[in-house]
Structure 1
Amino acid sequence: MSGRASDPIAIPESLWQRPQMTQALTSRDIRTVFHLVRQYTGASQTQIAIACGMTQGKVSETMKKGGRQILTLEVFERIADGLQMPDTARMTLGLAPRHFPPPTTTNAAVITPRDEPAGLVPASFLGSLDVEPDVEEGDPVRRRTFTKLAGASLFSAILADLPDDGAPLEGVEAFAAALAGYPALSSDPSPAALSMPRLTKAVATAKRTYQDCQYSTVIKSLPQLLADLRTACATYEGDTRLQAEALSAEAHHVAASILLKLDEEGLAWVAADRSMQAARNSQDLTIIGSSARIITHALMNDGHHGAATQTASTYAERISHDTDQRTPAFLSVYGALLLRGAVAAGHRTDRHTAATLLDEAQDAGRELGGDFNHRWTAFGPTNVQLHRVNIALQLGDAGAAIQEARRIDLDRIPLTERKATLLIDTSRALTQWGKHAKAYDVLRFAHQLAPEEISARPAVHRILRDLMATAPPSTKRQLRDFTTEIGVHL
């Protein structure tokens, strides 16, 4: 929660242990460090600036993409001190810890050059350090001395503990490697791994698991699947290759969707583009239309709402014009594209276009005749209602959004991800309407239904912070206990 500029920043200890933070500290990426601090504490740029002895303008410039980079040791020290980094984080950043272990004075063994353990500092090097015995452990001189020591001694010790072939990539890094064609993920897959039945089943499982909001499960298996599909597309010919390209389009669609949920816009763009390339190679209009949905989503997440609206509308018109039969798969993709365009129009406050696309989607839902999941779209009349809630919210009509939500039978929504999305939108509308206790209750219910949708998504964390900022004290206490319970630090 954002406070007054003079308020101290309360950073939870667990933040320094998060993989994103560890990676940022290792690469001295202060931009990401500041963003993570803001994300998990709600601190303002001014609060960060005051804590770190910087101006707000310099913090703002540092946090911009391609902005100012921090390069000097003095500034790293000031930032580490200002954010009260624990010693493990300071050392990851390449700085000395604040607290050194006390020297052993009783029964201390004397290590000579002959019997010093491998990887530790030679006694001759220790003797050469110009350290005054009365310098306090936390003194900057002592810390600078330790920095020199770390560079000379810990480097070899750290490297000695690593396996020769490097640690396996995990999480978002594994996605980055797969999208870049990292060879370790695609080295000589077996014929069984490239069999079309196996790939078809694996893509369906990824789609289904994603729609069940089990994102961590998908993240573990999807990068290798993307690599296998790339190899299959390069290996097969004829109709089998077209089928492999269609599967690749769907798998990259899932990858982009997860990356967007994690606020990894850059990688999401790459995955969405790969999805569209594979869709075009498949020569299947419904696959092309489905991939256009994720392109639209990526455009919208990057703030290009006009381009997103146009993209969705154009592809919907194209597949409608070029398709001879209005099959359930076609109607589902067509209707889902219209809905995506309507959401984008809502974001740019284009009420007329949003209403027009919603009505066209509603007609497609009636023609489809029910709520289905053809081409993994979850499209049907109920999904149109869900989008009416979201768009009313985007247009600032919280009351209208709640009215729409009241008309929806939650049991008619077949997919967990869609249910969770409705609950989150409803909570946002209730917050805007000043019904904080009800907004909190809805979010708790959403977490029971889809824990990772609440605990893993930065966008939902921002919703929680908004609720915390405006709720009365009694709800704030409940919300604080809830977020602590699920491991989310506001």
Structure 2
Amino acid sequence: MYRRTLITGLAATAAAAIASPLPGTAASAQVDQAVLGSLLVARLRDAMLGVGQAPAEPPPKSLAEHFVGALADFDACRYARLAVSLPRLLRAGHALTLSGGDTAPYALLSEAYLLATRMLVKLDELQLGWLAVDRARQFAEAADVALAVAEAARQAAVLARKAGQHDQALALALSAADRPDLRRAGRAGTALRGLLIQSAAYTLTRCGDRDGMRELTDEAAAIADEIGRATLPGNQGGFSPLTVRLHRISAENHAGDPRAALDAAHSLPLNALPSVERRSRALGDIAVTYSYLGRRADCIQTLLAGERLAPEETHARPATKSLISSLLRLGPTSTDLRGLAERSGVLV
């Protein structure tokens, strides 16, 4: 009861701060962004479980439009807006499925749950992420949408990898990549197959198999080179030689070769990536690379560049907060670092 009261109170405080910022400096508004992660998790949990006070739901005919808006908020790292739009979309979709036997909302609900899964993975909320991805899979199968079924498998593989279940993560990704219906899905199916192989490659880094990671990454790169840039429907985003290069940065970091990661970063034109979220992720990975190489000043400046690009992402994401915390503990502080820590809710 105490924990639930605390979470609810935190969410209410964050919502009030976002909706009606207190007068004062811009810094005071930025500090409020540090609780965005807790706000998003609390609202998504309530929407998924059907508890709490539900806001007014969008009319059924506009649900597809609302999904496009929620996805745009995610891609632009506008998480304060997403904390409103995505839970409303989940509640409205469920209400529509309960109103009759129409299965048309199932595909939309699958996409909404995939988006929720991506956000929950970003916020390290694995337990709730498993619930979201299982619902995404069930709705995708009911709607018979092969791409959404495969994307649910990819997100499940991510969750399994983060939970240390590496064999399961590999099986999920590679089995989905070999599904006949995905192979029949044309260019979009080929692109999603590349993403699944890329996911399996990343898992191999967690198994200590650097050579296997590079082999599968090269396979994904060959697929990307073959089809060029592909924009996929719904949550899959884009797949291209650029996004494979982005993957290489983090994969080489986890394989223990930050110099190879830095080489990959140098070959990546940041502004060519398809969204603010992808560019922010690249800056986060590059900051980690600099940290591994002992280039502390470059790491801090890269984090600050990420904050300028996507402040809500920088202030809400646990992985970034953890890196900021380690910088505070393991070396001299500076005005820039202390300010970044304060805005991100990291204790100085």
By the TM > 0.5 criterion, same fold? yes
Choose which of 309, 313, 317 in structure 1 pairs with 2:170.
309
8 Å CA contact 2:66–2:85 kept in 1: the answer is no
Instruction: State the partner residue of 2:341.
Output: 483
Aligned residue for 2:60, secondary structure, equals: coil
Q: Which runs of 5+ in 2 are unaligned?
A: 10-38
Instruction: State the partner residue of 1:63.
Output: none
Report the Cα distance in structure 1 between the residues aligned to 2:4 and 2:309, rounded to whole angstroms.
29
Report the Cα distance in structure 2 between the residues aligned to 1:229 and 1:202, rounded to whole angstroms.
11
Q: Map 1:153-168 to 2 at 5 A.
A: none
Provide TM-score, normalisation by structure 2: 0.83
Instruction: State the partner residue of 2:181.
Output: 322
Report the Cα distance in structure 2 between the residues aligned to 1:265 and 1:287, rounded to whole angstroms.
20
Identity %: 27
Q: CA deviation at 1:354?
A: 1.7
Post-superposition Cα deviations, 1:136-186, rounded to whole Å, max 9, x if no partner, equal: xxxxxxxxxxxxxxxxxxxxxxxxxxxxxxxxxx64333222212338549
Aligned residue for 1:392, secondary structure, equals: helix
Report the Cα distance in structure 1 between the residues aligned to 2:279 and 2:182, rounded to whole angstroms.
31
Choose which of 233, 238, 246 in structure 1 pairs with 2:97.
233
Instruction: State the partner residue of 2:46.
Output: 177
Q: CA deviation at 1:371?
A: 5.4
Q: Map 1:85-124 to 2 at 5 A.
A: none
Q: CA deviation at 1:236?
A: 5.4
Report the Cα distance in structure 1 between the residues aligned to 2:195 and 2:234, rounded to whole angstroms.
10
Q: CA deviation at 1:374?
A: 4.0
Report the Cα distance in structure 2 between the residues aligned to 1:230 and 1:25, rounded to whole angstroms.
23
Q: CA 1:234 to 1:364, structure 2 compared with 1: closer, same or farther past 3 Å?
A: farther
Larger Rg: 1
Provide TM-score, normalisation by structure 1: 0.60
Report the Cα distance in structure 1 between the residues aligned to 2:324 and 2:52, rounded to whole angstroms.
40
Post-superposition Cα deviations, 1:95-151, rounded to whole Å, max 9, x if no partner, equal: xxxxxxxxxxxxxxxxxxxxxxxxxxxxxxxxxxxxxxxxxxxxxxxxxxxxxxxxx
Aligned residue for 1:303, secondary structure, equals: coil
Q: CA deviation at 1:386?
A: 0.5
Q: CA deviation at 1:351?
A: 2.1
Which structure exhibits the higher relative contact order, with contacts defined as CA atoms closer than 8 Å and separated by 6 or more residues?
Answer: 2
Q: CA deviation at 1:260?
A: 2.2
Instruction: State the partner residue of 2:72.
Output: 208
Instruction: State the partner residue of 1:272.
Output: 133
1:469 aligns with 2:329: yes
Q: CA deviation at 1:486?
A: 4.9
Q: CA deviation at 1:368?
A: 2.0
Q: Map 1:27-426 to 2 at 5 A.
A: 171-182=40-51, 185=54, 193-195=59-61, 198-235=62-99, 237=101, 241=103, 243-318=104-179, 321-323=180-182, 325=184, 327-370=186-229, 372-376=231-235, 377-426=237-286
Q: CA 1:413 to 1:397, structure 2 compared with 1: closer, same or farther past 3 Å?
A: same
Instruction: State the partner residue of 2:26.
Output: none
Report the Cα distance in structure 2 between the residues aligned to 1:440 and 1:186, rounded to whole angstroms.
40
Post-superposition Cα deviations, 1:234-287, rounded to whole Å, max 9, x if no partner, equal: 4455xx62x421111110111122222222222111111111111111111111
Aligned residue for 2:77, secondary structure, equals: coil
8 Å CA contact 2:284–2:302 kept in 1: the answer is yes
Instruction: State the partner residue of 1:116.
Output: none
Q: CA deviation at 1:382?
A: 0.4
Partner amino acid for 1:365?
A: A
Aligned residue for 1:344, secondary structure, equals: helix
Instruction: State the partner residue of 1:23.
Output: 6
Q: CA 1:20 to 1:339, structure 2 compared with 1: closer, same or farther past 3 Å?
A: farther
Q: CA 1:420 to 1:21, structure 2 compared with 1: closer, same or farther past 3 Å?
A: farther
Q: CA 1:324 to 1:429, structure 2 compared with 1: closer, same or farther past 3 Å?
A: closer
Higher helix fraction (1 or 2): 2
Q: CA 1:337 to 1:324, structure 2 compared with 1: closer, same or farther past 3 Å?
A: closer
Report the Cα distance in structure 1 between the residues aligned to 2:239 and 2:347, rounded to whole angstroms.
35
8 Å CA contact 2:157–2:199 kept in 1: the answer is yes
CA RMSD of aligned residues (A): 2.7
Report the Cα distance in structure 1 between the residues aligned to 2:129 and 2:183, rounded to whole angstroms.
33
Q: CA 1:230 to 1:21, structure 2 compared with 1: closer, same or farther past 3 Å?
A: closer
Report the Cα distance in structure 1 between the residues aligned to 2:341 and 2:301, rounded to whole angstroms.
13
Partner amino acid for 1:414?
A: P
Q: CA 1:368 to 1:264, structure 2 compared with 1: closer, same or farther past 3 Å?
A: same
Q: Which runs of 5+ in 1 are unaligned?
A: 1-18, 27-169
Partner amino acid for 2:218?
A: D
Instruction: State the partner residue of 1:449.
Output: 309
Q: CA deviation at 1:327?
A: 2.5
